[in-house]
Amino acid sequence: LFQAFSRLEEIYTHLIGRFPASCPLSEQEQGVLTQLCQKVVKYFQDGKQIKAVLEQNPSQGKAILVANGLASNQQFAVREWIMPFMSCFADLLKVLWTLWTQLKRKKQSMAASRRGIEQLTRLVARCALDQQQQQQQQ
């Protein structure tokens, strides 16, 4: 479980490190993303602390987690942390995916608009040339 957790932290660090450069964000989008990132970072910090306590105290680790306020129930000490963490991490991925797909649609729309404007420009130019030729023939 904690190995997968460490891998998720690597993925998170990589994604967040590269995302702003590849997907420009508005202030509002940046605010939402920052808030989610702060929550995820807190879960990573708590996870490292939980892991350290459990490794240092294999037999009493869960009781120590309860005593230190990191868990409310010995039996479900790790579950109490991992379930909300996974939900928050999934929310972060959903937000990143939504922002990325919006940017992709916007770029596609801009490209389609550019092609339409280019076609319209060619048509207007052709009409202007035809009109000029007709005036010269008269």
136 or 37, greater pLDDT: 37
**Residue range 38-89, pLDDT digits in tens:** 999 999 999 999 999 999 998 898 899 899 888 888 888 888 888 998 999 9
Instruction: Kindly give the interhelix angle for 2-22 and 27-56, rounded to the nearest 10 degrees.
Output: 160
pLDDT tens readout for residues 90-106: 999 998 888 888 888 88
Q: 3-state DSSP: the chain helix, strand, coil percent, rounded to 5?
A: 85, 0, 15
pTM to 2 decimal places = 0.69
Q: ∠ CA(32), CA(80), CA(14), 5° rounding?
A: 45
Q: pLDDT band at 109, cuts 50/70/90?
A: confident
